[in-house]
Structure 1
Amino acid sequence: MRVCVMGAGIVGLATAWQLERQGHAVTVVDRAQAGAGASGGNGAQLSYSYVQPLADPAIWRQLPKLLLSPASPLKLRPQLDPLQWRWGVEFLAACNAGTSRRSTAELLALAADSRAGFEAMRADVAPDCDFSATGKLVLYSSAASLAGAERQIALQRALGSVQRLVSADECIAIEPALAGYRAHIAGAVHTPSECAADCLKVCQELLRVLHARGVHFLLDTDVRGFDVRAGRVAAVQTSAGDVAADAFVLALGTASHRFGRQLGMYLPVYPLKGYSITVEVDDIAAPRVSVTDSARKVVFARLGSRLRVAGMAELVGQDERIPAGRIEALVAATRAVFPQASRFDVLNPWTGMRPATPTGLPIIGRRPGAPANLLFNTGHGALGFTLAFGSARRVEAALAA
């Protein structure tokens, strides 16, 4: 079957890899280069066993800070944008215990499938991507926040995750580079099976291998619309001309809403803006284990001789500016948690628009009202790298059904 995949981020490329393995003739279209969007500088963590959705009951008591504090790691700035308001209302409606439990269960199942898919890709492609499997620590700064984490891991343990609460001293035994931060650690969740990798390198390796296997790439090519006939997409209209196929996969990240609207559909996908820096490190003073500081909403992932530091979640629309204050906050967080890790002379600042749904669950497969041969693979939020290969498997299964 001829399949056109729209999107060359990690989700689109994982889909192309999965479909090519199944014998499909694949074309990939993207307005930029492989991994140039939200995939390029993401947090690098592969969080297969700790997937707490952003839509959580705790959001309600944080609302004043989200709306008013310029220093908040989570920021909401209301705009004259109907999509933001509709998405925001649906997000707040999802901030309840029942929805959070259901979303967690679905995300964990998808993440488990994705771990298997990622390992299959590694065995097939052998990408040079600074992969590590050293586990993850999620740090909590207070007894109250630690109690909330305990409830989450109890839920996740019942769903098959292997993780435990550890004390501050146990944290330092697991990751000695945290020794200078001990006074700020009430405890942590340790998940020994978690991994990390450079998502951009994975994208570039997939591009190289898939191109060699005959996948056709139209990069730096805008998707403009669809030629729909009798309830099916006949072709995707692009700046390089029409691309005809038997089936189409929309994996266009935050642009998904706009293209859904062209088809008369509502896709609840909104940009969740994040930032990162990537610094060269002192090998002894920098962490080997992935670390998430829950209070600062910052993640630290070791990538060979580099440290990726990523954080913030801003609902501010499609704004690709990088305010100096946000990068300074990431540097300050790194100096606080790992004070000797780097000289911070080169920061490689980055921002990305993560395509988020209100519940945190991605949109995968066919949708009511859409053309019969159009499948979706979008809305993964901050878990795009984690969920990409499981999502690709589900798209392939839906295509075969």
Structure 2
Amino acid sequence: MTSRVTVIGGGVIGLATAYALVREGFAVELIEAGEALASGASFANGGQLSYRYVAPLADAGVPWHALGWMLRGDSPLRLRPRMDPAQWRWLLAFMAACRGSVNRTNAARLLRLALHSQDTLTRWREEDGLDGFAWRRNGKLVVFRDPASFAQARQRFDADHQQVLGADELAGLEPALAGVPFMGGVFTPSEEVGDCHRFCLALAARLRASGRCHFRLGQRVSKIRHSKGVVQALELGDEVLAVDNLVLCAGYRATQLGLPGLRLPVYPLKGYSLTVPVGARAPEVSVTDYDRKIVYARIDQQLRVAAMVDIVGFDETPDPLRIASLRRQAAASFPDAGYYAHGQEWAGMRPATPTGVPLLGASPYRNLWLNLGHGALGFTLACGSGQLLARALAGGQPALELPGLV
């Protein structure tokens, strides 16, 4: 077993992978192009560890719904076509995946990975004492405005792990829902919440204390040297860094490190969030407004409100109109939940595959491994993905058999 592994990417996927590798006895060199860890898509995401809600965006009917959404100013999805072959390839593959049978297969794979990730995080918390990131098992309530959406949810709910609540029962579970016009909801008590950025910092502190992980911040990989199907070294400006095994966790930026024969169907989906001081009636359980595609998660004394998918290219700048729409909708639904005028605005580029299933495991290069493309589920899937990859690198039997993964 090679004992040294280089990881490119200092977000939640890269840090969870490094942590799992160190637990397996590896020495790790982690390279992050930014000056700070977890400063991209991991910084202010939705905060929900939503293990039982992992169905991919690509599904039957989504293209037709998307046409209707794009006619609305407050649409949960926005597409801006570009003269970019990568965007069109991704969109065509996404359309091909918008079939019910494909969605069910991929949703089942993601569910198994998500539940494994939940088990892994539980083990790290209990065995290693990993804490300091506002973790709670507060449950998740998905609420519905449209009767047809609620009817479909009642048909699909898991009676062993979920509860269906009528409109008159919602406020009994979550008083903040009193007076909000929801038809009903589905509650999953086992779902969790946490601060992804603080989780990353907690992992980084443990990694530094281990003495087995070295961080290189503010260093961008400009080229990967290779020969005969083997990665040999990384170019970091004027420096050349030899590698034994390399794990690519660089999100959508991994596509810029092109290697012959390596196809990475990953494209950024921009999402938005507001982080606001909690008000008098902030929900304690995590809430997802299904029809408006907005999630609410209380993280200590802050309320995280997150939403939207923008397929608009590589501009990471928050769109003021999208932020204003998010603030307006949140304030209309939960006017006393937070001080929205004082919210921290954020946009993040979530690296997604067309199918919603991450690229996890071996590559055409003998010593290059992939762990990227988790989309909006990065925080949810990070621990399980990192643990599976670390076991594969160690030559052990993965704890979970997933066709197409590891």
Short-chain TM bin: over 0.9
2:197 aligns to what SS in structure 1? Answer: helix
For residue 286 of structure 1, what is the aligned residue in structure 2?
282
For residue 362 of structure 1, what is the aligned residue in structure 2?
358
For residue 167 of structure 1, what is the aligned residue in structure 2?
166
For residue 17 of structure 2, what is the aligned residue in structure 1?
15
Retained in 2: the 8 A contact 1:137–1:292?
Answer: yes
Deviations 1:245-295 (A, max 9, x none): 221100000112222x3333221100010000101112x410100001111
| CA distance in structure 2 between the aligned counterparts of 1:85 and 1:71, rounded to whole angstroms | 24
Deviations 1:295-327 (A, max 9, x none): 111100000000000100111111112122211
Identity %: 44
1:349 aligns to what SS in structure 2? Answer: strand
| CA distance in structure 2 between the aligned counterparts of 1:30 and 1:263, rounded to whole angstroms | 23
| CA distance in structure 1 between the aligned counterparts of 2:327 and 2:179, rounded to whole angstroms | 16
Matched, 1:107 2:101: no
Retained in 2: the 8 A contact 1:180–1:337?
Answer: no
Of stretches 138-147 and 55-64 in structure 1, the one that deviates more from structure 2 is 55-64
Retained in 2: the 8 A contact 1:136–1:290?
Answer: yes
Cα deviation for residue 23 of structure 1 reads: 0.6
Deviations 1:106-143 (A, max 9, x none): 00100011001111222314221111111001111111
Of stretches 239-248 and 331-340 in structure 1, the one that deviates more from structure 2 is 239-248
Retained in 1: the 8 A contact 2:24–2:391?
Answer: no
Question: TM-score, normalised to structure 2's length?
Answer: 0.93
Matched, 1:226 2:224: yes
| CA distance in structure 2 between the aligned counterparts of 1:321 and 1:257, rounded to whole angstroms | 20
Do the aligned partners of residues 263 and 237 (structure 1) sit closer, same or farther apart at CA in structure 2, a change above 3 Å counting? farther
For residue 306 of structure 2, what is the aligned residue in structure 1?
310
For residue 399 of structure 2, what is the aligned residue in structure 1?
none
State the one-letter code of the partner of 2:58.
Answer: A
State the one-letter code of the partner of 2:166.
Answer: S
Matched, 1:395 2:393: no
Instruction: Structure 1: state its 5+ residue gaps.
Output: none
What are the within-5 Å matches in structure 2 for residues 279-358 of structure 1? Answer: 279-282=276-279, 284-358=280-354
Cα deviation for residue 68 of structure 1 reads: 4.0
For residue 250 of structure 2, what is the aligned residue in structure 1?
252
Matched, 1:382 2:380: no
Do the aligned partners of residues 240 and 129 (structure 1) sit closer, same or farther apart at CA in structure 2, a change above 3 Å counting? farther
Retained in 2: the 8 A contact 1:4–1:248?
Answer: yes
Matched, 1:208 2:205: yes
1:201 aligns to what SS in structure 2? Answer: helix
Cα deviation for residue 151 of structure 1 reads: 4.2
Cα deviation for residue 199 of structure 1 reads: 0.2
| CA distance in structure 1 between the aligned counterparts of 2:121 and 2:7, rounded to whole angstroms | 19
Moved over 4 A (4+): none
| CA distance in structure 2 between the aligned counterparts of 1:121 and 1:272, rounded to whole angstroms | 30
What are the within-5 Å matches in structure 2 for residues 7-156 of structure 1? Answer: 7-32=9-34, 33-123=36-126, 124-153=128-157
For residue 267 of structure 2, what is the aligned residue in structure 1?
270
State the one-letter code of the partner of 2:21.
Answer: L
Cα deviation for residue 216 of structure 1 reads: 0.2
For residue 179 of structure 1, what is the aligned residue in structure 2?
178
State the one-letter code of the partner of 2:273.
Answer: S
Deviations 1:27-82 (A, max 9, x none): 10011121111000100000111212111113032132244444211111111111
Instruction: Structure 2: state its 5+ residue gaps.
Output: 396-406
Instruction: Report how many residues are paired.
Output: 390
2:187 aligns to what SS in structure 1? Answer: strand
